[in-house]
Amino acid sequence: MSGKKVVKAVRMDEMSYGEMETLEEIIGMFPTSEEDFDRIPKAKLMIALAFISLRRDDPEITLDDVRALPAGSIQMDSGDEADPTN
What b/e readout covers 34-50, taking b as 16+ CB neighbours within 10 angstroms?
eeebeebeeeebbbbbb
- pLDDT at residue 17, rounded to an integer: 96
Task: Show me where the domains of the chain are located.
Answer: 5-77
The conformational region for residue 82 under phi > 0 = left, psi -120 to 50 = alpha, else beta, is: beta
- pLDDT at residue 79, rounded to an integer: 57
Please list the pLDDT of the chain residue by residue as tens digits (86 residues). 556 677 787 888 889 999 999 999 999 998 888 898 889 998 898 899 899 999 999 999 999 999 998 877 777 666 555 555 55
